[in-house]
Structure formats: structure tokens, C-alpha cells
Amino acid sequence: MTVQNENEYEDLLGLWSDLESGLGVLLGSPMSIQEFEKRVRQYDRWMQDLLRRDTDVGLYLLFQLASNSSVGYSASHALVCAVLCHLIGTELGIASEEREGLVYAALTMNIAMTTLQDELAQQLERPNARQTDAIRSHATRGQEMLVQLGVSNPLWLDTMLLHHDDSTNKGEFRTIPPAHRLARVLRVVDRYAAMISPRKSREGRSSTDSLRSIISGSDPKGDEVGHTLVRAVGLCPPGTFVRLDDQQVAVVIRRSQQANRPFVAIVLDEGGVLLKPPRLHRTANGNPGIRAALSASTVNERLNHHLILQLGAYAAQQG
């Protein structure tokens, strides 16, 4: 389902917002949730249904949300990670039970520090000793909480426990145990999503800077997962900003067959003036090309998102 008018945009935005809000309740008060595991599975199905309607629109809404606000960070981060894990799992062709374990772990990996994670996103100072201890132990405590909540899926539990464990870097991706493989994916996605999201203490980074840090950083085993992430969502995913060769600024609206040549909506002219209305540009068709990815903080203008996504709907129809 592409966005054809403002009502469709508001409806779809409402569905994604309701999913995020529900996830926030689930993660914020897990011990008060009846049939916790069933609820997580329901949220996964809800997420998949929204992505089937239009993956590019879903990515657009998620990246705009993740890169523009640090309010309710924990739920937003969990949802972005779950979506990216789902798309990477699809790209890798992993078995359905592995995909489920990966996505469920992404949704719940910080369940033992939900409130703290939201606090950290809002504070300027570095974590204190108490907060640091809570961060270090959250994977173990989170697994214990899931067991108390009735979760018995071993891939879910083990992937969550291992998602910060460097031992999962050892071995070739296709030959290591499933939980180690899934934890490696989750760790890369967790880092990527955290880098693009702003905190009170710093701005979010651009999508390409975040990917470059992962692929060329100190974790060589992240390379394959990082490259798979690029294939799944593009070098500059829908919802992220780019500067074109002619100095105009655009927002990515749809992926194309080439990871570095998406469909974009030009929103600022070369002088930084807001374009009304925004203008569709197919970077795969020629100049101007993309010069650089930008962080969301670069664009301070209030954008008309339903008009931008209408351009994406037109692009999808034209092929």
C-alpha cells in the first residue's frame, strides 16, 4: 500500500505509532503483561503486516522517527532493530525459526534496562557507576526476566544473552552455531540503529557514517552483516537525508535495484530554501547524484511528509 493522500499517510503513521506505543508498554511493564510471549509474537506479525503493505514507507517512517526524536528511545530503538533484523534475515534466507528468534530478541534485548535506556537518551553526562553496572548486566538479567515470563524458545533466549558477547565474532558466519550467528546480526543492527539516533548528549550520525564505522571498524566479522544490511535497506535507507552533487538536499523515499541510487525527494534548494512542493528525482537516471549522506539534524525545516510519500507512490507506479 503506497501513500496516495494525506488520510492514507495519517492512517499508516497511526498504525506504526500504535505498534511502537504498544511495544513501549510491553517493555516498560513486562511483569504485568499476561501471555507475554504471545504478545511479542503478535507485535512481530503486526510489524510484518505493515512491512508487506509497503516496506519503503515503513522504513521512511521508522528512520524519520528514530533520527528526529530521542523521546521514548527504547521502544523506538527496539522496533527499528526488529525491522532491520527481519529484512536482513529475509536477505540472508535464514530459516523461519531463526528469523523468529532474531526478531524476538531484537524486540526484547534491552528489557532489563528499558527505563534506564530512556533516561540515558535524555541525559547529557556519561553513565554513572550504577548505570554502567546495569548496562553491563542487562543481557543476563534480561534473559532471566524472559524465563520468568514463560519464554522457552532457546534461539530467542540465547541470541538475547549473547548480543553483546564478542565471542560470537569467532568463526565463519554460515558455520557457527545459530544463536552465535543471530547474535552477530543483532549486535551489528543494534550499533547501527544506535548511531543514527540522537541523544541529548549528541546528534545522530548519518547512515553512511554509521555503516562505515561498522564495516571498517574493529569488528571484521561485522563486514558480511553490514554488507547484507546495505543490500536490504540501501546505503541511504528511505527516511534518511542526502546532499546531491548540485548542493540540493533530498530525503530518500524508495530503494532501487542499486543500493547507492535510490529515489529521492528534493526538499531544499542549493541555497537551503525549502522547496514547495518537493520534487521527485531518480538518482539512477543521472545527475545530480548523491554526494553525501546527512544527519537528520542538518534539515531543520518542517517537511510535508505525506506529499513526499506521494512522490514515492508515483515512483513505485512508474517503476
Dmax over CA atoms of the chain, in Å, equals 57
Percentage with pLDDT > 70 across the chain: 92
Secondary structure (DSSP) of 244-292: ETTS-EEEEEE--SSTT--EEEEEE-TTSPEEEEEEEEEGGGSSS-EEE
- The highest-confidence range among 6-10, 140-144, 257-261, by mean pLDDT, is 140-144
pLDDT at 30 over 90: yes
* DSSP letter (8 states) at residue 300: -
- Name the pLDDT band for 319 (thresholds 50, 70, 90): low
* pLDDT digits 0-9 by tens, 110-129: 999 999 888 888 888 888 99
Helices vs. strands in the chain: H and E counts, helices first: 12, 5
Mean pLDDT of 44-71: 84
Mean residue pLDDT across the chain: 88
* pLDDT digits 0-9 by tens, 243-260: 999 999 999 999 988 878
* pLDDT digits 0-9 by tens, 295-317: 888 888 889 898 999 998 877 77
Is residue 275 classed exposed, middle or buried when 0-12, 13-18 and 19+ CB atoms within 10 A define those classes? middle
Mean pLDDT of 194-213: 72
pLDDT at 175 over 70: yes
DSSP 3-state of 22: helix
Q: What is the pLDDT of residue 163?
A: 95
Q: What is the pLDDT of residue 218?
A: 42
- Name the pLDDT band for 216 (thresholds 50, 70, 90): low
Cis preceding linkage at 277, omega within 30? yes
The grid coordinates of residue 224 equal 558480511
- Name the pLDDT band for 1 (thresholds 50, 70, 90): low
For the chain, which residues make up each domain, given as ranges?
6-233, 241-318
Cis preceding linkage at 288, omega within 30? yes
CATH of domain 6-233: 1.10.3210.10
Whole-structure pTM value = 0.92
Q: What is the pLDDT of residue 150?
A: 96
The grid coordinates of residue 147 equal 524465563
CA-nearest of 98, 74, 73 to 85 is 98
- Name the pLDDT band for 103 (thresholds 50, 70, 90): very high
